[in-house]
Structure formats: C-alpha cells, structure tokens
A and B are shown apart, each in its own frame.
Chain A
Amino acid sequence: MLELKNLDSGYDFLQVLWDVSLTVEKGEFVALIGPNGAGKSTTLRTVAGLVKPMGGDILFKGESIRNKPAHIISRMGISYVSEALNLFTDMSVRENLLLGAYAVKEKETQLETLDYIFELFPRLQERKDQLAGTMSGGERKMLAIARGMMSNPTLMLVDEPSLGLQPNLTYDVFSALLKLVKQGVTILLVEQNVNATLDITDRAYILEQGRIVMDGPSQEMKANQHVQNAYLGI
C-alpha cells in the first residue's frame, strides 16, 4: 500500500533521511522505531507532504505522491497524526472532528463517522463542546487521533502518541490503535516506547541516523541482541 523507495529528505540544507526504503502492506500494523533525531518524524512528514523529498519516490497504492501537496495526500486517504497534534485550539471538540472530515462530501457519512468516533472515545463525547485547547494532554492526543480517523483513511501515520502521557493513558491510546487495525486500517506508527510497540505491531523498521538499519517481524526484533541492548535496556 505504501512504499518508500530510496527516499532522501530533509530541511533546506540539512539532509535527514538517506536512502530510506520501506513498505507497508494493506492491513498491516508497522512500527518505525529509533533514537531521538534519527529521522522518524521526518519520514512521516515527508510521506504526508509537509516536507518535500530530495530524492527517491513515495508510492501510495501504486501511485507516486512525492510531488503532491499535503491536502491532496490527505484527501487520497493518508491521515497523519502529528507529534505536535496541530489541533484547532480555539474550536470545540466537535468542530475539530467535523474538520477532520473536511474532504468527506456527504454530510451523512460525516455524522455517521462522528457517532462511531464518540462510541470509540466516550471521553470525547462528554467534552464535545469544550475548546480543544483547554483539554488535558491525553484527551488532546485522543482528539488528534480521532480527527485523523474522521476522513475514513486507509493509511494512518501516527507520530509518538505516547509522548508525555501517563502509562494508563498510553495503554488507552494503544488499544484504540489496535481497534483501528482490527477494522482494516493500515497504520505506520512512530514510537519511543519500544517495548510496548513491539508487543502490538506486526513488523518493525529501525531507523538510526537517517538510515534503515534493520527490519523484520516485531517478535523477532524483540529477541534481537542489538535491539535489546539499544532500546530495551536488557
């Protein structure tokens, strides 16, 4: 479904990604892990169209999206839940969610998805009239993920959902993601919480200093010596 071919990317004169190749098949739950500054977020931002690639190609459903602007990529079915969340802080939860379905033409489909989201995240329904900027960190993360789901995406790119969350909220966020995968949404997850991530994902790529150094099924990765030393602290 998503294929990065020898992708080079970065900001102005600073190249961050070097020759990154990875694939995500339909229905898969894939993790991209690595240390701070390895280029994980840059990878997702490049796919989402917020950063222009310097070389290589990005294929989504067989079509190249490397030169497409971010809003077109979003409308094609790729939803990026950024680390900074990028919520509309002066709008209510409900308005944020409806904007998530901006590209959805039919009003009925929008409202159906909204109902479904409220079922999935009852917390958001309780706070639907609250301004997004006044919610707690965990609730805002939920809202960002929920907003990302409003467009009924086929691929979700989720950037560090556990960052700054207390453990039980992290658990909530992860189980929400698992639920999504069960419903057939494909997810590429960037995470620092390597242990939990390898437990829930199918496959994982390890990105170090802008290059993919290793990949394989998550369970195998967990047993790998390098991963254990560098990320799991065993």
Chain B
Amino acid sequence: MTTETPAATLTSVDLMTRIKDNLPVVVVSVFSVILFVLVGIEGGPPQLFNVIVTGGMWALLATGLALVFGVMNIPHFAHGESFMVGAYVSYFTFTPMNKFFLSTGSKFLIYSGPILAIIAAGLAGCVLGIIIERIIFAPLRHRTKEGWIMNAFLLTVGLSFILVNGTTLTLGPNFRGIPRYYDVPALEFMGAFIAVDRIVATAIAIVTIGSLWFFLRQTKTGRAIRAVSQDETGAQLVGIDLDFIQTLTFSLATGTAAISGASLLFMFQAYPTVGLTPLYFAWYVVMLVGLGNVAGAIFGGFIVALLQSATQLFIGLSWQSVVPTAVMILVLILAPSGIFGSEVKGIQEQ
C-alpha cells in the first residue's frame, strides 16, 4: 500500500502536466464534445451522421495534404484537382459499367459497381500522383532546394490551373453527375432516413484512413515515410531511397483525394472546378491542427465538419463560411502553429 500512494500521485501529476502541455488540444476536444452533444440534441441523428460523413471526407483530404506537406514540404494547392480527377474517373467508369451491370441483372454486380468505380478512381489518382511527382517535383528537387516551399507552392498553383483548364478544354464546363450510386431506398436509422450512398461514403473514408494509418504506423515502408518527414538526412543514412518515398507519398495523397472525389460524386458531381470547396476545407483543417500533422488532420476533419453543422443549425446557413473563418483567425492568433502545435521539420534546413 505504501508504494502505491506515491505512484498514484505521480500519475495524477503526470496527467496534469500532460493536460497543461497540450492545452489547445484539450480545450478544443472538450469544446467539440459539447458541440457534438448540442448538435445531437438540436438536430438529431441525421445531423450527427452528416457530421460524420463530411468529417470523414475532410479528414481524408486533409490527411493527404498533411502527408505531402510533412514529407515533401509542398504546400499542395492542386489537391482539389485530385478530387476533381477522382470524380471524373468515377463518373466515366461508373456510368457505362452500371448500364452493363443492369443489363446482366446480377445483384452482386450492381452492388459492387460503385465500389469498383471508386477503386478505379483511387488507382487513377495514384498513377496521376506518380506522373506529377516524377515530371514536376522530382526535377526541381534534384536541381535545387533553395526557396523550395515557395517554388513548390507556385508549381502546385500552376498545376491546378493546367488541370482545371485542361479539363474544361477537353470535357467542357458542364456538370456530369449521377443522382445516386445505389438505387435503393434510404435506410432508417434511429428514426432518421439516411441514404445508402452516404453510409458507403463514410465507410470508405473510415477504411481508407484506417488503412493509411496502419500503413504509416505498422509497415516498414510506412515507417520510412515518417522517417523522411522527421529527418531527411537521417533517412538517407539508413538507406532509405528519398525519391521512392517522396513519389510514393505524393501518389498516396493524390490517390486518397481521388477516392474522396469519387465517393462523394453523388453530392458534388463532376465539373472542372469541383475541387475548390474541398481544397479550401482541407486547407482549413490542416491550418487548424498544424501543418504536416497526420493524426491531427484526422481529428481536425471532424471538428471542421462539426463546426459547419453547428453553424448551419444554430446560426444559419448563410453563416456557414463566416464562423469557420472566424474560428481560424482565432486559432491563428492564439495558437499560430495549430492546435496540435506541431513543428514541421526540414523547413529550417532549407
């Protein structure tokens, strides 16, 4: 008994210092839980589910941004175009495929169609990521790392212009969309009706984030990605091929963005500038939690979605972008490096 008492006080002291060290995170978490409960009381299950669907998607997009910024120090402003490409690929694979599957009449094929389209979009995104990294960023990286962040930023903006206008040129500015992926009635859930598409989108977001998380934490290559984001020189010294890791990271980020574009096709449709809103919100998430912080990006995605829903519910739809922006200004004043306060390594050296 005598040995237990000091140990117990030690852990409580430990807990207090931990809370103190991570004050912004704790404050935001407590605030979010309260908000979540309030939204639940006021809006009921449909609103809560809405938070989860949008949150999952913002989280998925923001994870890609955080990865690209953390590992390659690229402020990626063409991330929305990966979303756009995903939406288009999914549209162009799903529409003919669905027609064919409907003609066969096989239930299994009809149900797996959307999943296949989303997977195709993800793969196309990965390939696009490899191409972009190889022909745009790798040559610059090999030439000089001086002024890298600014140069990379300008490159992504240029890339965004090319992709948006290239799409307009080839496919036209028209909206291409589908009313829904799954032509089945909405499911009843705690007295609310929720479209199957939304459930599938959420499941895809969760599975993608989960596998990305597992990949980064538990596999050798994932560990190497984290190593590069923490110390590039150290990574080279242990035999990690920087080019390979950076191309892989970019490809993963583009692929996940394409997946979210594809799985939200029924909400956003496909048109050349569809990526703008998701891009803004993904950036909003990473600025809120701290650039380059993957775990934070997941958390932040849900907070932003919650904020959106709460604004809509308590203040009004027209305030939807005012309140989040006000919160962002507040965060930048109080915790300039984001609520997780992560410092991005590698920037100082450049």
Contact B239 A75 (CB under 8 A): yes
Which of these binds chain A: B40-48, B218-226, B304-312, B326-334?
B218-226
Contact B230 A89 (CB under 8 A): yes
Contact among B227, B230, B231, B238 with A74 in the assembled complex (CB-CB below 8 Å): B238
How far is B241's CA from A86's CA once the two chains are assembled, in angstroms? 16
Contact B233 A71 (CB under 8 A): no
Most chain B CB neighbours (cut-off 10 Å) among A71, A89, A98: A71
- Of all chain B residues, which has the CB nearest A100? B238
Residues in A whose Cβ lies below 8 Å from that of B236: 49-50, 69-71, 74
Q: B276 on the interface (CB 8 Å rule)?
A: no
Q: B234 on the interface (CB 8 Å rule)?
A: yes
Residues in A whose Cβ lies below 8 Å from that of B242: 71
A-facing mask of B208-221, CB < 8 A → 1, else 0? 00000000000010
Contact B233 A82 (CB under 8 A): yes
Residues in A whose Cβ lies below 8 Å from that of B220: 98, 102
Residues in A whose Cβ lies below 8 Å from that of B238: 74, 99-103, 147, 150-151
Contact A88 B240 (CB under 8 A): no
Contact A74 B237 (CB under 8 A): yes
Contact A102 B230 (CB under 8 A): no
Residues in A whose Cβ lies below 8 Å from that of B234: 82, 85-88
How far is B261's CA from A123's CA once the two chains are assembled, in angstroms? 49
Contact A98 B223 (CB under 8 A): yes
Contact among B226, B233, B241, B345 with A50 in the assembled complex (CB-CB below 8 Å): B233
Residues in A whose Cβ lies below 8 Å from that of B345: 89
A-facing mask of B156-198, CB < 8 A → 1, else 0? 0000000000000000000000000000000000000000000
Most chain A CB neighbours (cut-off 10 Å) among B220, B224, B231: B231
Contact (A71, B231) CB under 8 Å given A88-B226, A102-B224: no
A-facing mask of B312-336, CB < 8 A → 1, else 0? 0000000000000000000000000
How far is B235's CA from A102's CA once the two chains are assembled, in angstroms? 9
How far is B242's CA from A91's CA once the two chains are assembled, in angstroms? 18
Contact B231 A89 (CB under 8 A): yes
Contact B233 A102 (CB under 8 A): no
Contact B231 A87 (CB under 8 A): yes
Known contacts A82-B234, A150-B238, then 11 further A-B pairs from the complex at CB < 8 Å, ordered by chain A residue? A48-B237, A69-B236, A70-B237, A84-B233, A85-B234, A86-B233, A86-B234, A88-B231, A98-B220, A102-B240, A103-B238
> Which A-B residue pairs are the 4 nearest by beta carbons?
A86-B234, A103-B239, A70-B236, A74-B239
